[in-house]
Amino acid sequence: MVYSPVWGSRYATILIKYFVQSVRTLAILFRDRPRVVFVMAPPVVACAPVWIYSLVSRAQFVIDAHTGAFLDPEWKRVSFLQRFFSRRATTTIVTNRHLGQLVEAWEAEATIVTDVPVCFAEPEHVELSGAFNVTVVSSFANDEPTAMILEAAAHCPDIRFYMTGNPSDLESRVLKSKPDNVQLTGFLSDARYVGQLQTSDAVMVLTTRDHTMQRGAYEAVYLGKPVITSNFELLRTSFSKGTVYVDSTVADIVRGIREMRSDVSRFQEEVDHLRDEKLQQWDAVAASLLERLGVTDVHVKKECLNEEIVV
């Protein structure tokens, strides 16, 4: 859906915002006449103009449903809309089997895509000051154990942490607990973000919510960086090598950080193998998805750093 930032995200203007965005999206669709449309949810409202276009043009549409569409309390309240559109879509892409079963229970088609190869921006040169540097990929969302991460960092004064995300989204009491070895980077440009991860020794991405895929973790893997992530089955399966898994406790986060530093060369070697495996898995998933769409005449070529990925 086309985004209209002028309306902001206030309750007073949300209906006007979605209406304007829907009209602009429909205008683009009828101008370009695509045969297949991919639409991301949430917001589930974004599916509305795509569905309307599909009714008129007989085009197919695919919903790329992120975990929040099912588990975030804000969007769970309107799950009936997600069900409505999923039952009319060619398929709904989800990140794991648990979410796929939810979609199938609606008598809708589901396609599981754990992750896709990332095409990165040209990296900006970044210099980090620590002897061992960990970037914490964060947006300070309600499923991130930010306070625990800061307390754990305080127990690792010999390690330098760089935490992404807008500091204004942090509660003041949590912000005051930040130790000196944690630097809040603020929002990073794409180029700066790539440079930040490339220069780090490891990347940490944590969640308290099960069945949540971690985009920051697979970005790290595709950049060849070892990962510290949460101890859930989905994440253990998706990041089976080059990764330390931690529970959402300060003590276990500290344990995971220490484990990563003590054997980082082994984790580095493992994550290189994991990256190769993920690229091979993507070839099979992409072929299956295109077959489901009945698309046989598409050739997509993308350059991702020094790798060429062809679908």
Alpha-carbon distance of 240 to 270, in angstroms, equals: 9
Our CA angle for 140, 64, 100, nearest 5°, is: 95
* Residue 222 tokens, joined: 């595709």
DSSP 160-228: EEEEEB-GGGS-HHHHHT--TTEEEEES--HHHHHHHHHHSSEEEE--SSTT---HHHHHHHHTT--EE
107: nearest Cα among 123, 95, 89, 125: 89
pLDDT digits (tens, 9 = 90+) for 34-91: 999 999 999 999 999 999 999 999 999 999 998 888 988 888 889 999 999 999 999 9
151 and 178 Cβ atoms separated by less than 8 Å? no
Q: Which of 252, 215, 246 is nearest to 232 (CA)?
A: 246
Beta strands at 60-65 and 91-94: parallel, antiparallel or unpaired? parallel
Cβ of 300: how many Cβ atoms within 10 Å? 9
17-26, 66-75, 141-150: range with lowest mean pLDDT: 66-75
Asked if residues 231 and 245 have their Cβ atoms less than 8 Å apart, the reply is yes
List pLDDT tens digits, range 236-287: 999 999 999 999 999 999 999 999 999 999 999 999 999 999 988 888 888 8
Predicted confidence at residue 85, as pLDDT, reads 97
- Find out whether 151 and 248 touch, Cβ atoms under 8 Å: no
Q: What is the pTM of this model?
A: 0.74
